[in-house]
């Protein structure tokens, strides 16, 4: 019985997430929502992001952030590789 449960757990992990933190076999559906009005001209819209938590991706809403001098916001993106889909977070770049 113990071996059966272990095999079932390994199979479930392999099918659902590839047993690798941050990878999923099917990426979540795109989220569509309305962007709120900018609080001012010095703000940049930072789109929503996917966060890895508890073995799944969860959506975090976007927000307006103050522009960082000499930097530009690069949005996050999904990468499809050998282990499945993985989200790369957005970040400020020079």
What predicted TM-score, i.e. pTM, was given to this entire model? 0.71
The helix (run of H) or strand (run of E) holding residue 8 is: helix 2-17
pLDDT < 70 stretches in the chain: 1-20
Please give the pLDDT value at position 52.
95
Domain ranges for the chain, please list them: 2-93
Please give the pLDDT value at position 1.
53
- Tally of CB atoms within 10 A around 70: 8
């Amino acid at each position: 019985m113990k071996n059966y449960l272990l095999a079932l757990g390994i199979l479930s992990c392999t099918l659902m997430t590839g047993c690798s933190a941050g990878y999923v076999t099917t990426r979540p559906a795109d989220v569509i929502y309305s962007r709120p009005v900018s609080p001012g001209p010095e703000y940049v819209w930072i789109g929503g992001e996917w966060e890895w938590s508890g073995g799944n991706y969860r959506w975090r809403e976007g927000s307006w952030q103050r522009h960082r001098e000499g930097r530009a916001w690069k949005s996050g993106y999904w990468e499809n590789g050998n282990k499945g889909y993985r989200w790369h977070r957005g970040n400020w770049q020079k």
